[in-house]
Amino acid sequence: MPGKHDLTSKHIENVLQGRSVIDLISQMRPDTRSLPKKLPISAKSTLERVEKTWQHLPNLFLKDALLIPDDLPSFQGNIENPIGTLKIPLGVAGPLRVNGLFAKGDYHIPMATTEAALVASYHRGTSLITEAGGCTAMVLIESVNRSPSFAFANLAEAGQFVMWAMAEMPTFRKVALTTTNHGELVDIGTTIEGNHVYLNFDFHTADASGQNMVTIATQAICNHIIAHSPVTPAQVYVEANLSGDKKASVRAFTTARGKKVTAEVFLSADLVKKRLHCSVDDMCNYWRTSAIGGVLSGTIGIQGHFANGLAALYLATGQDVACVAESAIGITRFEKTSSGDLYAAVTLPGIMVGTVGGGTGLPTQNACLQLMNLAGPDKSRALAEVAAGLILGGELSIIGALAAGHFSRAHQNLARGKKQNIEQNDGVA
């Protein structure tokens, strides 16, 4: 196994490629000669605007490869400097039967991805869940937060500010309501670090994912604080990186951001053997091994590949894909029951999904939501429960493949296999 010295020496060799260190240093210096013309920024989504933007790009011949749809104006408010649309393959998994507090039924789940074998894996897992009668799913709690910070001259001022802010909760709630018809401030938390105060505002955002909603509401509250606080903060920031927004964090793992959801299923030993080609003991043994491996690597949570299913679902349904960073943490747990069956469960503390607003109204994304009958108001909680069921199916499938020794074979056949091999296996579960 190469040591750090070997790795570093190899990298230096790759960097130099016959060049001297002096040449490299010269190449990396800032260069303000012949600066390129700045690309103008625009939020307009019109064919005329697209044509103007392309005139500033060096490879005009590529324009035809980036599809420019007739319904381009419908993208306005979701993109700036549009130059076309991106084609991503869209598959479907399931149907997945969900028996939840909000989701009840059989769902064909759209998944957008360029990774071969991904949809097949989730399809296998969700079909297995359905064959067992479906998964039970439950939204446990929901909130979306913003965490502004306030800097004061000393700790005494910081303490005085916190006492005032806690008493102002009813006023803060009224201020937030002036910015939204759907969001509601439901709680405030405080963190004091020296003479700095972080306030954590928790909101309910109805059926929207809600990041923009809570940002605007929090800014209004901050403006009120600046105008009325008995001690004037020297600095105010509407978000001070305490919320866990779009990043994996222990805070996101131990609390809830978005919708905290759990899903479970009981699988008979015969069904595990028939569909996953291994035993319940095989599944549990691999889960324990992978759980320890995750701890050794410093992973937040214990899970196989939450990000795969969430990213594909988020892309397909118009969610903020960057939120996968915070959504794809949580717990997968497998146990053998007293009757010899497999108990499998997933818990995700931060499913950031909406069925209104954001990208959910775009034509193809809205069609994907409609495919599941989850477009529009009063559907976001159901979407979160379906997402948890999808993730559970993905965990069952990938752990089954690894426990049975089939993981590499599946990728060989579907990702790198010859066309005739794929055609020969077409439709084979």
378 is annotated as an active-site residue: no
- Kindly provide the residue ranges of all beta strands, DSSP E only, lying in 180-267, ordered along the sequence: 184-193, 196-204, 235-237, 258-267
335 is annotated as an active-site residue: no
**Catalytic entry in 56, 108, 115, 196:** 115
**Catalytic entry in 108, 196, 224, 411:** 411
Residues 4, 418: Cα–Cα separation, whole Å: 39
- Asked if 145 and 203 count as a contact pair (C-beta separation under 8 A), the reply is yes
Sign of CA dihedral 78, 80, 84, 89: negative
Q: What type of residue sits at position 192?
A: I
Residues 410, 90: Cα–Cα separation, whole Å: 20
The neighbour count for residue 363, using CB atoms within 10 Å, is 12
13 is annotated as an active-site residue: no
Q: Which residues contact 172 (CB under 8 A, 6 or more apart)?
A: 165, 185, 188, 201, 221, 224
Q: Which residues contact 95 (CB under 8 A, 6 or more apart)?
A: 106, 107, 108, 126, 127, 130
The string of DSSP letters for 245-299 reads: TTS--HHHHHS-SEEEEEEEEEE-HHHHHHHHSS-HHHHHHHHHHHHHHHHHHT-
- Asked if 340 and 280 count as a contact pair (C-beta separation under 8 A), the reply is yes
- 68-71 long-range contacts, CB within 8 A, separation 24+: 69/363, 71/363
Q: Tokens for 174?
A: 């009224």
Q: Which residues pair with 267 in a beta bridge?
A: 342
The string of DSSP letters for 353-389 reads: --SBSGGGGSHHHHHHHHHTT--STT-HHHHHHHHHH
**Catalytic entry in 245, 320, 326, 395:** 320
Residue with tokens 């919320």: 243
Continuous segment of H or E residues that includes residue 411: helix 407-414
Residues 147, 144: Cα–Cα separation, whole Å: 10
Q: 371-402: buried (b, 16+ CB within 10 Å) or exposed (e) per residue?
A: bbebbeeebbbbbbbbbbbbbbbbbbbbbbbb
Q: Tokens for 241?
A: 């990186």
Please list the active-site residues: 115, 320, 411
